[in-house]
Amino acid sequence: MLLNYISLSSVGPPSGLRRSARIVVSKADFEGKTVVVTGAGGGLGSAIVALLAERGARIVGCDQSAEALASPHIASRHVFNLLDRASIEAAIPTLLDKDGVPDVLINNAGWTRAETLTALTADKIEQELDLNLTGVMNFADPIIKAMAASGAGSVVFISSVNAISHFGNPAYAAAKAGINAYAKSIAVELGRSGVRANVVCPGSIRTAAWDHRLAKNPEILGRLKRLYPLGRIVNASEVAEAVAFLASDRASGITGAIVPVDAGLTAGYLPFIDDILGA
């Protein structure tokens, strides 16, 4: 088995003794396992696919177009639209017949308009909820029940910090809060059937999706960084690492967890300390 070792050491007492901790990440964490990833062609989805494939997974990629699934890391491909219930219902038996009941399901697909409360309309609310909650549940539910029937399964949902605190985008936030609740219901009700369910809540992620914003306003990233205790936003690879851990057997005792990967955004509001307490 190939292993990656990351050595973390700190200087000890004056005698020069050193204490070291070693984090071991196996390149075979997912060897022999089938992993379904939705939104597999997006910025975060691509990072998740590449990382899990590197660690031995057979990747079943799902997206709304065949072009999005061109990655050589993807072994099997399925195209459907989360806004189209008929296409979801057609895709599920095809996936299960072709690829079997997966060991891991990563529910990553999602999208938002980033609307404010005053800009919301009934149509916009419906689309946000249909795509980010209803569509996700319609796809995940029969697969998760198949996992439970088989006696094992690990499910990871990509939610958002918007489900934890308010950063605008109310319809999207409501949908993602629903995802968090859905994951907990799976953890509680299907735990004795061997199914774990956890949630990763990213903050802003530095992907290609930011390019058009930066083109319009090159200063926006600098202003955004001020809000984050780490002084930056996260990279897709950092979110993918959290997903990989929760999906793997290394997290076998973790279920129902909501894990922010947000450079500290939801821990507290640093500008309040800088501007008010420091004034």
The catalytic residue positions are 172, 176
Measured between alpha carbons, how far is 35 from 113 in angstroms, rounded to an integer?
29
The CA–CA distances, whole Å, from 127 to 83, 87, 113 equal 8, 16, 10
Q: Are 88 and 28 in contact (CB under 8 A)?
A: no
Measured between alpha carbons, how far is 166 from 161 in angstroms, rounded to an integer?
8
Measured between alpha carbons, how far is 140 from 220 in angstroms, rounded to an integer?
36
CA trace torsion 71, 75, 157, 145 (10° rounding): 160
The tokens for 207 are: 């992907």
Measured between alpha carbons, how far is 178 from 144 in angstroms, rounded to an integer?
17
- Shortest CA distance to 202 belongs to which of 235, 171, 245, 154? 235
Amino acid making up residue 119: A
Amino acid making up residue 145: K
The answer for residues whose C-beta is within 8 angstroms of residue 72's C-beta and 6 or more apart is: none
